[in-house]
Chains A and B, each alone.
Chain A
């Protein structure tokens, strides 16, 4: 019997995918390939310790894949939160994926599913409102965080081209936000005062983790599809999201915001480097049509519902108020309609 290998099982998404696969196919159908052990609540899950940043990781992975008879790999060992240690992030994300793709190709793995981010398109003023998969990712981004993800995708595709037996699906997830998730943007959402960029209010997409899991399921079941955007229904503006979460926003002119954010990050206080200011200025909304067409994936949550689910978990009081406000607004709209 062949198994599915998972990396990054100590992370939120990887851990939840592991749990879901164990529930669906049994503990023997999966193997966690990670430097850290999977959560102790998962009994009987096979765990093989591999450090993707080590020089011999590829050979070790070939052995592991062979011994475990691995047939598909879900690779989610990526940093959602930018790290100050950019060199380590590069080793793990870009070089780690190079090792993994090489090993997968050599071990005759059929399908490699890669976790990626819609943020790789880059938030730029020139973006169309909906970025399709044909859009080239922003390889000249000033964020090492983005460049590492793009390099990882390219490594996977280059091995897929050289070894036609290896199929690759890259799932570019929109910004994840949901119960239990802690990343740099949920940390920004848990501050009382949030800086925003003066005169900009871009559209954002917020993806519920349940939808992300469903997409991973679909991708593992379907086979290679290339790049696929996994996005929620609908969009919302950044300020709407912040005000629904009862944040006090302080508008900063963008000319000032870049250097200040960079200094803030450099001094060890900031949550993210200055390059992320782009993502608060311009939209990077992706189009989910291909996921619908090729994976049969339809998101259950809209951006707004995903945000509300997060708020209900993190700030029940705020969520209740926001819900009441929505109801009031709906009632008013209905009354207006009745008048008209």
Chain B
């Protein structure tokens, strides 16, 4: 009973406490002015309450660093499932945005990746882009380029070239090969940076939405070609990209990437390692896999990316998309145009490293 009285004494008015003991006797004087010590106590109580509320909000709103500091400070004592989950969430959302577009492109992720890619673009490979004015400044477009370099660096660089050098700063989405779009770790990176898996449905949908697409019709044959075959364009798939361009009425812009074919000189292929883990090939370069993780550092060659005049489709339209002979001819035309652009650039190039 006494303990209860003590608890009440903080919150309930003093008169009420007295009333509990003798309900029938003299009625409590309710209108009495509060004593100074009571006012002070009440003041203190409300301050404490406010403090608790503030610290609670602070805890909920604390950023990544504060959470980390708390973990470091309190050690294992400060850990709980909830705090670990919050920490993981803070780390995740520090470089991912909550909302992606319907194809999974993530604005904040792209911003996070940007410094790395900019370094590769401007410092490591010193990319020189020319002819970006051939890329349409609005509406659909299909940039077709030669593929090389074992990992899809060339796609990322073409993307950057369009974003940095094109007057309209257009976003170019790359169509990624299955082998990259399905590779653990690389798959989410590609999809969050705006690439989609290369297939006709995706390409047609994006072009109909008026987006700019980049495609490498050489596919696996191009990206994993031997060093001795460099700058010799492989077969352009089965001309699917021409069919889609015809069907959606999109211009085809040829693009020649020079420099990417030397970043990972493939001197051999160990398919007996690649096949069991689901890779179409397993490249062997002078550095990979001999130097371990160092072997995946690409060589700092000098790159140039040239965009050419849109390919003349000779007035063909959607109704010709089902003519395989025509599609094949157009595809060959694009291939030879790009081969010519590559050869022209190679003839002018004096050094692999300095251009």
**A90 to B219 Cα, complex, angstroms:** 42
Q: Which of B86, B98, B188, B205 contacts A129 (CB 8 A)?
A: B205
Q: Does A262 contact B (CB under 8 A)?
A: no
Binds A, one of B99-107, B228-236, B238-246, B252-260: B99-107
**A193 to B106 Cα, complex, angstroms:** 25
Please tell me if the beta carbons of A234 and B102 are within 8 angstroms of each other in the complex. Answer: yes
Q: Which of B89, B103, B184 contacts A254 (CB 8 A)?
A: B184
**A253 to B205 Cα, complex, angstroms:** 32
Summed over the interface, the residue pairs from A and B with CB atoms below 8 Å come to a total of 98
- For residue B102, which residues in chain A have a CB less than 8 angstroms away from its CB? 129-130, 234-235
Near B by CB (< 8 A), chain A positions 285-340 give 304, 321, 324-326, 328-329
- For residue A201, which residues in chain B have a CB less than 8 angstroms away from its CB? 187-188, 191-192
What 0/1 readout, one digit per residue, does chain B (177-208) give for beta carbons within 8 Å of chain A?
A: 01001111111100110001101111001000
Please tell me if the beta carbons of B187 and A236 are within 8 angstroms of each other in the complex. Answer: no
Q: Does B297 contact A (CB under 8 A)?
A: no
- For residue A249, which residues in chain B have a CB less than 8 angstroms away from its CB? 88
Please tell me if the beta carbons of B182 and A125 are within 8 angstroms of each other in the complex. Answer: yes
- For residue A197, which residues in chain B have a CB less than 8 angstroms away from its CB? 184
Closest Cβ neighbor of B199 among chain A residues: A128
Pick from A198, A235, A304 the residue with the most CB of B within 10 Å.
A235
Near A by CB (< 8 A), chain B positions 203-233 give 205
Pick from B102, B182, B192 the residue with the most CB of A within 10 Å.
B102
| Interface size, chain B (Cβ < 8 Å) | 38
Closest Cβ neighbor of B60 among chain A residues: A321
Q: Which of B84, B89, B103, B201 contacts A132 (CB 8 A)?
A: B201
Q: Which of A125, A127, A199, A243 contacts B89 (CB 8 A)?
A: A243
Closest Cβ neighbor of B57 among chain A residues: A324
Please tell me if the beta carbons of A304 and B99 are within 8 angstroms of each other in the complex. Answer: yes
Please tell me if the beta carbons of A199 and B104 are within 8 angstroms of each other in the complex. Answer: no
- For residue B106, which residues in chain A have a CB less than 8 angstroms away from its CB? 237
- The answer to whether A128 and B202 touch (CB under 8 A), given A199-B185, A324-B60, A329-B97, is yes
What 0/1 readout, one digit per residue, does chain A (242-268) give for beta carbons within 8 Å of chain B?
A: 011011110001100000000000000
**A199 to B181 Cα, complex, angstroms:** 11
Q: B68: shortest Cβ distance to chain A, in Å?
A: 16
Near A by CB (< 8 A), chain B positions 134-172 give none
- For residue A192, which residues in chain B have a CB less than 8 angstroms away from its CB? 81, 85
Q: Which of A203, A244, A246 contacts B98 (CB 8 A)?
A: A244
- For residue A240, which residues in chain B have a CB less than 8 angstroms away from its CB? 92, 96, 98, 100
Q: Does A279 contact B (CB under 8 A)?
A: no
**A282 to B60 Cα, complex, angstroms:** 33
Q: Does B122 contact A (CB under 8 A)?
A: no
Closest Cβ neighbor of A249 among chain B residues: B88
**A199 to B180 Cα, complex, angstroms:** 12
In the complex, besides A201-B187, A237-B96, A329-B98, 8 extra interface pairs with C-beta distance below 8 angstroms are A128-B199, A128-B200, A236-B100, A243-B88, A243-B93, A246-B86, A248-B84, A324-B61
Residues of B within 8 A of A (CB): 60-61, 81-82, 84-86, 88-89, 92-93, 96-100, 102-104, 106, 178, 181-188, 191-192, 196-197, 199-202, 205
The 7 closest A-B pairs by CB, nearest first: A199-B184, A128-B201, A199-B185, A201-B188, A125-B182, A248-B85, A243-B89
